[in-house]
């Protein structure tokens, strides 16, 4: 597609191959959420019952919204703000702007967490004993409990964001796509090795049984909402990402099939991650959990008990590193596409300014964990609302507010303003068949908005006790 850009004919970048696109989009979707959130949530939600509900939510709601995002992207061949204008609804462009903002804030903290993961790759190579000796102390030390966290907040995140920027500077097909084609198979290979190790541990069968047992009594409204929120987060929906990635797709590619493949890959990887984590923690008597404290501190208890545990530790943090890198690449690409197309910056300038600024802002995310006394001040500003830290506030604003709000407005836009029939025309060109178009229309107009509305309201009402 050529478009006029300040008098110059400007060729828009495209994916080189469909498999490259699938791996890049799956790379975006498969992130920390799959590996350190899903297994813990499946555990809390009672195992099999949660997993079943999660699969249904992805199949019906997640896939419907993902298909809509890819379709808007490919139809308009624009960034998320430009897309609304291109469809003739410039008044909606601020919904895209909200997505860009949300992506930018996530990028700030993802860089930091990616840096911590990198730190732990080194820790397990060189000084696993120091981690084992005091897992919690080691973790909070990295975050600045005993002095300015140079390594955790500055050095490692800087390496992480530099790697991201280098890939992005190479462009779409020779950067993002080539990188994804190399590291995604590596991610799968590591995941398989770790899962085989986990399920063959003595005592692992208890964990496997737990995941396959349907304990319906644990399936309450709040676990249902947790599954819904997890599905949206895991598929990277509600932000600038999937629209942008879809905008680099060729017209002859099959959007329906691609949506199915991305959802399947993301969900299978989350499921396998559950079978990697839960049997291992059952076998070693570690308490299953969610998030950083679990992934960085509790899991040391698992690695310590395994023969050649350091090796498995290195592999595990490499797995997290790949997952985090491909996700960070996609977040920054979404914002980069916006800045280059709407503000007419060069790609190089956009990437460098975005990378440097989100790196600098992100430092405060790590500092707020324990180094800076922001906690107290923050409580005053928020009138006593219990945000454990500035960092938690960033996560709250993105996961509970901007992301669901963006996704909700996006569904309303496609379902009621742009209209599903126009989307279906885009999907069905080049004689691509779309048998479920009636079902999809109902999903995008009614079911998905209602479900997202529930996430939004519950986030606002109960979201303060961040889990």
Please give the residue ranges that form the binding site for ligand TRP (CB under 6 A): 28-29, 31-34, 106, 233-234, 236, 239, 241, 327, 330-331
Report the nearest approach of ligand TRP to the CB of residue 350 (Å): 17
- Nearest C-alpha neighbor of 321 from the set 450, 234, 191, 428: 191
Q: Phi/psi zone of residue 430: left (φ > 0), alpha (ψ -120 to 50 degrees), beta?
A: left
Distances (CA, A) of 429 to 21, 74, 249, 372, 412: 19, 12, 13, 55, 24
Determine the Cα angle at 317 with ends 19 and 335, to 5°: 55
- Nearest C-alpha neighbor of 447 from the set 221, 228, 264, 243: 228
Distance CA 268, CA 288 (A): 20
Report the nearest approach of ligand TRP to the CB of residue 117 (Å): 12
Question: Which residue's CB atom is positioned nearest to ligand TRP?
Answer: 31
User: Toward ligand TRP, which CB reaches closer, 187 or 239?
Assistant: 239
User: Toward ligand TRP, which CB reaches closer, 61 or 427?
Assistant: 61
Q: At what angle do helices 374-381 and 347-370 cross, to 10 degrees?
A: 100
User: Toward ligand TRP, which CB reaches closer, 237 or 302?
Assistant: 237
Report the nearest approach of ligand TRP to the CB of residue 29 (Å): 5
What phi, psi does 350 have (nearest 5°)? -60, -50
> Exposed (0-12), middle (13-18) or buried (19+): which is 343, by Cβ within 10 Å?
exposed
**Tokens encoding 52:** 């079943």
Distances (CA, A) of 42 to 269, 282, 346, 466: 13, 14, 44, 17
Only one residue has tokens 């991650």, namely: 273
Report the nearest approach of ligand TRP to the CB of residue 323 (Å): 7
Distance CA 402, CA 398 (A): 5
User: Toward ligand TRP, which CB reaches closer, 41 or 445?
Assistant: 41
Report the nearest approach of ligand TRP to the CB of residue 306 (Å): 25
Report the nearest approach of ligand TRP to the CB of residue 332 (Å): 9
- The 10 Å Cβ neighbour count of residue 122 is 13
Report the nearest approach of ligand TRP to the CB of residue 24 (Å): 11
R_g (Cα) of the chain, nearest Å: 21
Overall size of the chain counted in residues: 467
User: Toward ligand TRP, which CB reaches closer, 106 or 161?
Assistant: 106
User: Toward ligand TRP, which CB reaches closer, 267 or 340?
Assistant: 267
Report the nearest approach of ligand TRP to the CB of residue 86 (Å): 22
Determine the Cα angle at 30 with ends 24 and 32, to 5°: 135
Report the nearest approach of ligand TRP to the CB of residue 266 (Å): 7
Cβ distance 367 to 374 under 8 Å?
Answer: yes
- Nearest C-alpha neighbor of 248 from the set 178, 344, 177: 177
Report the nearest approach of ligand TRP to the CB of residue 328 (Å): 7
Q: At what angle do helices 403-412 and 93-126 cross, to 10 degrees?
A: 140
């Amino acid at each position: 597609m050529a478009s006029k850009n300040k008098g110059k004919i400007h060729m828009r970048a495209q994916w080189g191959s469909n498999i490259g696109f699938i791996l890049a989009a799956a790379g975006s979707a498969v992130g920390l959420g799959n590996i350190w959130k899903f297994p813990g949530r499946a555990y809390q939600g009672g195992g099999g019952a949660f997993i079943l509900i999660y699969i249904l939510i992805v199949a019906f709601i997640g896939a419907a919204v993902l298909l809509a995002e890819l379709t808007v992207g490919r139809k308009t061949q624009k960034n998320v703000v430009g897309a609304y204008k291109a469809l003739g609804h410039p008044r909606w462009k601020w919904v895209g702007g909200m997505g860009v903002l949300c992506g930018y804030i996530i990028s700030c903290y993802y860089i930091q967490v990616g840096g911590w993961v990198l730190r732990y790759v080194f820790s397990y190579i060189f000084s696993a004993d120091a981690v084992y000796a005091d897992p919690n102390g080691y973790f909070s030390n990295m975050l600045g409990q005993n002095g300015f966290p140079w390594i955790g907040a500055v050095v490692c995140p800087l390496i992480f964001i530099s790697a991201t920027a280098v890939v992005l500077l190479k462009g779409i097909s020779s950067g993002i796509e080539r990188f994804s084609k190399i590291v995604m198979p590596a991610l799968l290979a590591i995941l398989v090795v770790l899962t085989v190790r986990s399920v063959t541990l003595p005592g692992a069968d208890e964990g496997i049984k737990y995941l396959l047992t349907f304990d319906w009594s644990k399936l309450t409204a709040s676990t249902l909402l947790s599954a819904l929120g997890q599905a949206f987060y895991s598929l990277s929906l509600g932000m600038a990402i999937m629209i942008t990635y879809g905008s680099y797709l060729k017209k002859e590619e099959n959007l329906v099939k691609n949506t199915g493949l991305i959802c399947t890959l993301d969900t299978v990887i989350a499921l396998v991650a559950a079978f990697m984590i839960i049997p291992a923690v059952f076998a070693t008597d570690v308490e299953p959990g969610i998030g950083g404290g679990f992934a960085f501190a509790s899991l040391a208890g698992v690695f310590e008990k395994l023969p050649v545990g350091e090796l498995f530790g290195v592999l595990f943090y490499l797995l997290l590193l790949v997952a985090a890198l491909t996700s960070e690449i996609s977040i920054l690409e979404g914002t980069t596409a916006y800045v280059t197309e709407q503000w007419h910056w060069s790609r190089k300038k956009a990437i460098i300014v975005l990378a440097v600024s989100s790196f600098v802002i992100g430092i405060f995310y790590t500092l707020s964990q324990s180094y800076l006394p922001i906690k107290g001040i923050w409580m005053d500003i928020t009138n006593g609302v219990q945000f454990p830290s500035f960092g938690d506030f960033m996560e709250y604003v993105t996961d509970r507010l901007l992301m669901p709000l963006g996704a909700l407005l996006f569904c309303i836009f496609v379902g009621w303003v742009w209209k599903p029939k126009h989307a279906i025309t885009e999907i069905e060109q080049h004689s691509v068949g779309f048998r479920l178009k009636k079902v999809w229309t109902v999903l995008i107009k009614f079911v998905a908005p209602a479900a997202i509305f529930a996430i939004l309201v519950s986030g606002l009402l109960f979201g303060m006790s961040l889990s």
